[in-house]
């Protein structure tokens, strides 16, 4: 297992549209395990392959308090979304230190392959539903700050660029 570097907003590679996983082969299994290690180490609740510059439709999630309920979603497809919507603060490992309100469907059903390549449907609500939608956006090249106003987004962009510059200095 290895930790992978996480792309930081506004890195243009975060806007890449991911391609479907063709087969859950050893290379994908290795990516899953590296992404899980990266997510746990960074104390995130979800990570999309896009964020580690691997542009395939693969997501790892763990919203449990104990950090012991890993969930793997390969080629996820949104099967249903509730009309009811909720607005909550979101953060992202690619936009460290920034939290802001985003509106999402309160509940979703998603069909995906798991880490063994088995098809399953996940019925999610609450934090898990929000997390799945956030991560599926990454696979489409969308970062949560794109839901915010252009003013806020530009502020965040400037802050991130300053952070990155300071770290390199
Ligand atoms: Ni994110």
Residue pLDDT, tens place only, 87-129: 999 999 999 999 999 999 999 999 999 999 999 999 999 999 9
Residue 144 alpha carbon to ligand 1 centre in Å:
7
Coil, strand or helix at 104: strand
Residue 25 alpha carbon to ligand 1 centre in Å:
25
Residue 138 alpha carbon to ligand 1 centre in Å:
7
- Tokens representing 44 are 């995130």
The whole-number pLDDT of residue 40 equals 97
Catalytic (active-site) positions: 135
DSSP state of 167: H
- Average of pLDDT values for 157-163? 96
- Average of pLDDT values for 142-160? 97
Residue 98 alpha carbon to ligand 1 centre in Å:
11
The whole-number pLDDT of residue 87 equals 97
- Integer Cα distance of 78 and 166 in angstroms: 40
Residue 83 alpha carbon to ligand 1 centre in Å:
23
Helix, strand, coil percent content, the chain, rounded in steps of 5: 35, 25, 35
Token pair 């180490």 is found at 41
- Integer Cα distance of 83 and 61 in angstroms: 24
Q: How many percent of the chain have pLDDT more than 90?
A: 98
- Within a 10 A sphere around the Cβ of 66, how many other Cβ atoms? 6
Residue 1, pLDDT above cutoff 90? no
* Residue 63 phi, psi dihedral angles, 5° rounding: -100, 5
Confidence of residue 169 (pLDDT cuts 50, 70, 90): confident
* pTM for the predicted model, two decimal places: 0.97
The pLDDT tens digits for 41-63 are 999 999 999 999 999 999 999 99
Q: Which of 128, 121, 122, 76 is nearest to 105 (CA)?
A: 128
- Integer Cα distance of 124 and 136 in angstroms: 14
CB-proximal residues (5 Å) to ion ligand 1: 92
Whether the CB-CB separation of 115 and 92 falls below 8 Å is answered with no
The whole-number pLDDT of residue 21 equals 98
- Average of pLDDT values for 128-155? 98
């Amino acid at each position: 297992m290895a930790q992978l570097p996480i792309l930081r907003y506004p890195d243009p590679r975060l806007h890449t549209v991911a391609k479907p996983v063709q087969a859950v082969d050893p290379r994908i299994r290795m990516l899953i395990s590296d992404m899980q290690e990266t997510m746990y180490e960074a104390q995130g609740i979800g990570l999309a392959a896009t964020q580690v510059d691997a542009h395939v439709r693969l997501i790892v999630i763990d919203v449990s308090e104990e950090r012991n309920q890993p969930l793997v979603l390969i080629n996820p497809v949104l099967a249903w979304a509730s009309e009811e919507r909720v607005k909550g603060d979101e953060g992202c490992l690619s936009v460290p230190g920034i939290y802001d309100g985003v509106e999402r469907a309160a509940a979703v059903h998603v069909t995906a392959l798991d880490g063994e390549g088995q098809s399953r449907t996940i019925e999610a609500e609450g934090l898990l539903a929000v997390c799945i939608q956030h991560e599926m956006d990454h696979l489409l090249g969308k970062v949560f700050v794109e839901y915010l106003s252009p003013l806020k987004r530009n502020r965040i962009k400037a802050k991130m660029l300053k952070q990155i510059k300071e770290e390199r200095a």
